[in-house]
Structure 1
Amino acid sequence: MVMLPDARLDQLLARHAEIEHALSASPDAEAYVRLSREFADLTPLIERVKALRAAQREQVDARALIDDPSTDAEMAALAYAESQELDARIEELVREVRLALLPKDAMDERGVILEVRAGTGGDEAALFAGDLFRMYERFAALNGWSVEALSMNEGTAGGFKEIIAAIHGRGAYAKLKYESGVHRVQRVPDTEGSGRIHTSAATVAVLPEVEDVDIDIDEGDLRIDVFRASGAGGQHVNKTESAVRITHMPTGVVVAVQDERSQHKNKARAMALLRARLYDAEREKRDSARAADRRGQVGSGDRSERIRTYNFPQARVTDHRIGLTLHKLPEILAGEGLGELVEALTTEHQAALLAEAESGWAQA
């Protein structure tokens, strides 16, 4: 029988009722906002706990009927059928309550800053970086998210040496955060006459979109340079210093964004990228103590870690962190198959969190 922390659930039920009472007492605006958020966060869990306990009470009643020698055969058969249905319902509700009790990543509901860079492999690596970026674009579209390119450096034979984009949409970080790392491709390049398979790689970084309140940046710590955008654009590019480079002097982090139309827009984009990178650096520092545990499950998120191989001759994709191989490479690169990988990685991560949480519940 799976254990649940009943004392903790009782506390949460009491807290939920307490907040509901406080909200009905017309608190001031600030308190109302704070309490409403807490109430909204707790409500899904509380609804499941109440449903679970109601089902458990019904189960007790059904079994009492089954065990009562005075119950006639027809009634006992009905009670037995109901008991079987309740067993399945209780099992599902216990699973939902366990998952709802897991600590939430505060950034899960945010959009992301996606960075894809060609690694080893020259032109073939740049082409693969382009394949990966299009995969994320299609996956974003399937989820109803929008994609905004912030900066790109195209490869000489196509694809990208580097592309940075913002993916706007609720829950994007929750689904894409396990994509950070080294992605490896094995395929025969179009220019390879002998049919020899080449191996190349691209690096992906997924950072949560960060707001001003999430990280404090002192304007005095910034050096902002403007310069002429490179690439196509004709006279506008030659005459207008629209590109923006921001250097965060305490850390040495540098971001650059160029858009031929607007220096103001480029500065806003560069600041968004800078906030994301600084927040990610701070977060990585805070999480370093738990990195070894995470690496054993779905990886540490370290961008130097090889996480996945895309083998074109065999049409297979292997995620090395969880040992999952899917023979559906075209579907994955088309976006719709990526969801299966995302779901498997999320399930593995939840299983690790549950094991850790249940160990704590057992000791409590």
Structure 2
Amino acid sequence: MEVYIQLSSGKGPKECDFFLTHVLGIFQREALAKQIHVIVINEDKSGSGLIQSVVCKLTGAEIDIFLQAWKGSLLWICESPFRRFHKRKNWFIALFVITKEKEIILLEKDILYQVMRSSGAGGQHVNKVSSAVRALHMPTGITAVAMDTRSQLQNKKLAKERLAHKLMQLQNESAQQDVDKQWQNHAEIERGNPTRVFKGIDFKS
């Protein structure tokens, strides 16, 4: 099983970044105890070197059960280690599960080729011979057409290349949506109703 998660301090102050930086270690240790492997994919840090946002890939069994104790807002109750006499003692961060689109792999068995008459310029020969090729990627419904040459074989190859290019564009758009969602998560953290509470400078829970 493979799951992606994001820990984010949102637009919180330095205390939230401090909380996240320490909680990441706790999260990794508890995951390891459940035989869940955590790989850090991306990390955004503040100017002071504290983590503001981190994306991790989790692999192992029963990840969903493990995340029940983590998913949502997390609360740290502690006096600020940076601002003496500061009244605030509640600091929130959050853990989000990221939905990742599966990578699209272009397989020959998933392509339906259709031969058709070429149209447009190319002389009488092009109009008489069914040399144009349409390639349909059956899992996504995306199509590409090639009628560049008189060779049906060459057009088939071109149609497949164009289909691969369209699928790559689709994958890139999906990846960008993942990034946009992460930034949205970073901005939207529920302050209240925490899934888990940590207390004190030693983060006891």
Q: TM-score, normalised by structure 1?
A: 0.32
Query: Structure 1 pair 178/210, CA: closer, same or farther in 2 (3 Å)?
Result: farther
Match of 2:199 in 1: 312
Length, aligned pairs only? 142
Query: What is the correspondence of 1:76-225 to structure 2 with a 5 Å cutoff?
Result: 110-194=1-85, 196-207=87-98, 220=166, 223=169
What secondary structure is seen at the aligned counterpart in 2 of 1:140?
Answer: helix
Of the two structures, which has the highest relative contact order with CA contacts closer than 8 Å and spacing of 6 or more? 2
Which whole-Å deviations, capped at 9, do the CAs of 1:6-52 have from their partners, x for residues lacking one? xxxxxxxxxxxxxxxxxxxxxxxxxxxxxxxxxxxxxxxxxxxxxxx
Shift of the alpha carbon at 1:118?
0.7
Match of 1:253 in 2: 177
Shift of the alpha carbon at 1:155?
2.4
Structure 1: distance between partners of 2:53 and 2:167 = 27
Query: Structure 1 pair 314/117, CA: closer, same or farther in 2 (3 Å)?
Result: closer
What secondary structure is seen at the aligned counterpart in 1 of 2:21?
Answer: helix
Shift of the alpha carbon at 1:135?
1.6
More helix by share: 1
Q: Which runs of 5+ in 2 are unaligned?
A: 105-138, 143-163, 183-187
Structure 2: distance between partners of 1:311 and 1:140 = 17
Which whole-Å deviations, capped at 9, do the CAs of 1:63-92 have from their partners, x for residues lacking one? xxxxxxxxxxxxxxxxxxxxxxxxxxxxxx
8 Å CA contact 1:246, 1:255 repeated in 2: no
Query: Structure 1 pair 255/311, CA: closer, same or farther in 2 (3 Å)?
Result: closer
Shift of the alpha carbon at 1:204?
0.7
8 Å CA contact 2:76, 2:200 repeated in 1: no
What secondary structure is seen at the aligned counterpart in 1 of 2:194?
Answer: strand
Shift of the alpha carbon at 1:309?
5.5
Structure 1: distance between partners of 2:81 and 2:189 = 28
Shift of the alpha carbon at 1:181?
1.4
What secondary structure is seen at the aligned counterpart in 1 of 2:65?
Answer: helix
Query: What is the correspondence of 1:317-328 to structure 2 with a 5 Å cutoff?
Result: none
* Root-mean-square deviation over aligned CA pairs: 3.9
Structure 2: distance between partners of 1:314 and 1:179 = 19
Shift of the alpha carbon at 1:130?
1.5
8 Å CA contact 1:114, 1:166 repeated in 2: yes
Structure 1: distance between partners of 2:54 and 2:201 = 28
Structure 1: distance between partners of 2:201 and 2:19 = 17
Q: Which runs of 5+ in 1 are unaligned?
A: 1-109, 225-244, 257-273, 278-301, 316-328, 333-364
Match of 1:228 in 2: none
Structure 1: distance between partners of 2:167 and 2:177 = 11
Query: Structure 1 pair 314/147, CA: closer, same or farther in 2 (3 Å)?
Result: closer
Shift of the alpha carbon at 1:120?
4.5
Structure 2: distance between partners of 1:162 and 1:314 = 21
Structure 2: distance between partners of 1:171 and 1:187 = 32
Structure 2: distance between partners of 1:117 and 1:135 = 15
Which whole-Å deviations, capped at 9, do the CAs of 1:184-240 have from their partners, x for residues lacking one? 222112222226443321121124777569xx777736548xxxxxxxxxxxxxxxx
Q: TM-score, normalised by structure 2?
A: 0.53
Shift of the alpha carbon at 1:310?
2.9
Structure 2: distance between partners of 1:191 and 1:159 = 13
8 Å CA contact 2:70, 2:195 repeated in 1: no
Identity of aligned residues (%): 10
8 Å CA contact 2:43, 2:54 repeated in 1: yes
Structure 1: distance between partners of 2:43 and 2:198 = 26
Query: Structure 1 pair 111/303, CA: closer, same or farther in 2 (3 Å)?
Result: farther
Shift of the alpha carbon at 1:151?
0.6
Query: Structure 1 pair 162/223, CA: closer, same or farther in 2 (3 Å)?
Result: farther
Query: What is the correspondence of 1:29-40 to structure 2 with a 5 Å cutoff?
Result: none
Shift of the alpha carbon at 1:127?
1.2
